[in-house]
Structure 1
Amino acid sequence: MFLAWNEIKRNKLRFVLIIGVLMLVSYLVFFLSGLANGLASLNREAVDKWDASAIVLTEESDKSLLQSTMAIGELDTIEADETAVLGQINAIAQTGDKKANVSIFGIERDGFIMPVVTEGEEFSQENEVIAADALKEDGFKLGDTLKLSSTDESLTIVGFTDEARFNAAPVLYGDLATFQRVKFGEGAAENEDQINGIVVRTDDVSNITSNKELESIESETFIENLPGYTEQSLTLNFMIYFLFVISSVIVAIFLYVLTVQKISMFGVMKAQGIPSGYLARSVIAQTFILAAVGVVVGFILTLISGAFLPAAVPVAFDIFTMIIYGLILIAVAILGAVFSVLTIVKIDPLKAIGG
């Protein structure tokens, strides 16, 4: 450690450049992890808010809530501790010059998926809705009357709730009658018993329903099958994993070049009786210092950047995940130093000093 630290102090510019590269790589890794978490939250907030064990959909729906249609009477076939019916339809909501893609949930007021109102009040009659507070960012407010692209019906925002986005769209919660009027229009009376799914809480999700036309899907599986969710997560995670490899290669190249430049010095030190193990440990210690400083600076810069990002940027930093990624970056940097260590071990003192 003594040798490693003294060399860093004597060659500040050279090692600052290495720290800078590691800082930029770690900054990108941390930011991508925050982006991955943020985009995942856009898709799953409303489902996580249910705190449910599973959801029951029709077997032919291919695990898609929108494609599932069943009679509300199917609720009688469900065996679970708690159940809540759910209707869902997508639409474009407009008030004045403001527009937004929304997902409309039809629910029962006494169901466990009824959201907690953070501003305003709960819906009490048809065509009243509780809106996701994400709509505030688009300029929507309490009392706004919303015109919908899919129907002549108008909805009124009477309350707001937090963390309520489904498949990246803010959710509007209304009663089942409102949902059916929006979805079926003039035919609402004929389809008043139609819903899309049944959300359940239970300890055993394997035998929820006896109806072979229905299937119970665990909440996490349901989320993974949301359109684009898995593909998006895999893409960002692969980018992060490739950055780990890139970080290792960058450190390996830098340290190898530095080691080659110091072959004669290492040869003299070995000729003086300093063992290869001591020199190898010095290189590893030096790499640890450089990587640790670069990762910590990248970590701090990421948090500072996150504090100034606009709300429209879907970034959500998970400190625990960032710490894990930081430790991995330090580990792969040390792994990259192995090539330099092997070079030091193979140095012949006599050849290195020109003997």
Structure 2
Amino acid sequence: MMFLALNEIRHSKLRYSLVIGVMFLIAYLVFFLTGLSYGLAQEFQMSIDKWQADNVILTSVSNDNLNMSMITQKEFDAIKASDKAGLVQKPGILVKGNDQDDKVNVTFFGIDKEQFIAPNIIEGKMFSEKNEAVADESVKKQYNIKLGDTVSVAGTDEKVKIVGFTDKASYSASPVLYVSYATTTDLGGAPTKNNEQIYNAVVTRGTVKDLPKGLEKLTIATFINKLPGYNAQVLTFSFMIGFLVVIAAVVIGIFVYVLTMQKINIFGVMKAQGISSAYIARSVIAQTFFLAVVGVVVGLLATLGSALLLPQAVPFQVNTMFFVGISVLMVVIAILGAVFSVRTIVKIDPLKAIG
């Protein structure tokens, strides 16, 4: 069965190379879009995943929007949880030196460095004073902001000094800078009230009890899905990838059907010699399996190679589970597309086919 399939491929190299080429191009496009989609999704949520938390508590009237939530110190103290941390979030723009055209969109996270949402340090140290910041390493790699640099914050008279770097800390596709509560207040974040801190959110681990009236608890997964633009972006890429997989199946099915129609006379001779329709059909399916596997594997290798050449600014990330799942799905659907040719093979009359 496989001998017949491979022998025919060796005999018609150009024809089957075109089939593999089409499969390769579609697979390459699917894998590349998957890497971009996953990478962009991670850019939205990496800093949230970094918390390793269970829930985020916001005010009920905030419509699940972190910026619009204001939680008082009294409400924070009333929340009973296994572990909790107050978070202040403020979008900002860094200005490098005196060049007003050299700007970086960032998100400031005001935190208590003793609480569990404090980031790990991969270079430098944790902030200890007002206007010191621990930044995501992407600001160094992409924007050349180095350890010890002091940068201005657009729209304010404040400056922050980069004293440390962390990794995998981005929020809504922008790098995160971790600072003290006092720093975010000066930058225009959640203000203090009667000398008490106001938080945008409370991040918790474990069971939450005694939630004050006017607050609501969101799971981390729900909170991520509610991020502005996140769900629309994921759905858009998911539909694109899904349609491409279906198109790949249709294209391979059409190719196999056309090739089958071109070989009706050959199949008629084979059936006249006593070779069963089932054997021929299995050979066609085995041939399709081989073509699909080769095309998908080459497309996957090309995608992994391209990922090594992409600039740092491109949010491309490899998710092994996604890539393996899509590879299997494309091969299976391509085989299902080839099954439509089996009906033609079964109906071949040897006498008519021979002429």
What is the TM-score normalised by the length of structure 1? 0.95
| Residue of structure 2 equivalent to 1:128 | 132
Does structure 2 retain, via aligned residues, the 8 Å contact 1:72–1:85?
no
Q: What amino acid does structure 2 have at the position aligned with 1:308?
A: L
Amino acid of the structure 1 residue aligned with 2:187: V
CA contact (8 A) 1:263 1:352 kept: yes
1:183 equivalent among 188, 207, 216: 188
Amino acid at match of 2:231: T
Secondary structure (helix, strand or coil) at the match of 1:171 reads strand
Q: Distance in 1 between matches of 2:300 and 2:343?
A: 31
Match of 1:17, as an amino acid?
L
Shift in Å at residue 269 of structure 1? 1.2
Report the AA paired with residue 111 of structure 2: I
Q: How does 1:310-349 map to 2 (within 5 A)?
A: 310-349=311-350
Q: Measure the CA separation in 2 of the matches of 1:208 and 1:147.
A: 41
Q: Which amino acid aligns with 1:352?
A: A
Q: Which amino acid aligns with 2:179?
A: G
CA contact (8 A) 1:153 1:182 kept: yes
Match of residue 301 from structure 1: 302
Q: 2:152 maps to what in 1?
A: 147
Look up the match of 1:246. Answer: 247
Aligned to 1:111: 115
Match of 1:194 among 192, 195, 198: 198
Between the aligned partners of 2:123 and 2:298, the Cα distance in structure 1 is 39
Q: 1:146-195 CA deviation, whole Å, 9 max, x = no partner?
A: 2212422221111111111011111111111111121169x757564211
Deviation at 1:352, TM superposition (A): 1.3
- What is the 5 A alignment of 1:1-355? 1-96=2-97, 97=99, 98-136=102-140, 137-183=142-188, 192-202=196-206, 204=207, 207-354=208-355
Amino acid at match of 1:200: T
The alpha-carbon deviation at position 320 of structure 1 amounts to: 2.3
Q: Distance in 2 between matches of 1:301 and 1:55?
A: 40
Distance in 2 between residues matched to 1:72 and 1:105, nearest whole Å: 17
- Alpha-carbon contact 2:192-2:198 (below 8 Å) kept: no
Cα contact 1:150–1:183 (8 A) shared by 2: no
Give 5+ residue unaligned stretches, structure 2: none
TM-score in terms of structure 2 length: 0.95
Residue 18 of structure 1 deviates from its aligned partner by 0.4
Secondary structure of the 2:227 match is coil
Contact 1:130 1:161 in 2 (8 A): yes
- The verdict on how the C-alpha distance between 1:191 and 1:241 changes in structure 2, with shifts beyond 3 A counting, is farther
Distance 1:259 1:239 in 2: 30
Describe the shift of the 1:23–1:191 C-alpha distance in structure 2 as closer, same or farther (beyond 3 A): farther
Q: Is the 8 A contact 1:30 1:299 kept in 2?
A: yes
- Aligned-pair identity (%): 50
| Structure 1 residue 319 displacement after superposition | 1.8
| Counterpart-to-counterpart distance in 1, 2:70 and 2:31 | 41
3-state secondary structure, aligned to 1:104: strand
2: distance between equivalents of 1:73 and 1:139?
41
Q: Is the 8 A contact 2:127 2:134 kept in 1?
A: yes
Post-superposition CA distance 1:208-228 (Å, at most 9, x none): 443220001000110011011
Consecutive aligned runs of 4 or more in structure 1 exceeding 3 Å deviation: 187-192
Aligned partner letter, 2:159? S
- What is the distance in 1 between the residues matched to 2:47 and 2:83? 18
TM-superposed deviation, 1:42: 0.6
The question of whether the paired residues in 2 share the 8 Å contact of 1:180 and 1:192 is answered with: no
Q: Secondary structure at the match of 1:23?
A: helix
Instruction: Provide the rounded CA distance (Å) in 1 between the counterparts of 2:211 and 2:303.
Output: 51
Q: Does the 8 A contact of 1:94 with 1:147 survive in 2?
A: yes
Match of 1:103, SS state, is: strand
Q: Distance in 2 between matches of 1:133 and 1:348?
A: 69
Instruction: Specify whether residues 211 and 129 from structure 1 end up closer, same or farther in structure 2 by C-alpha distance, changes over 3 A only.
Output: same
**Counterpart code for 1:100:** V
Residue segments in structure 1 that go unaligned for 5+ positions in a row: none
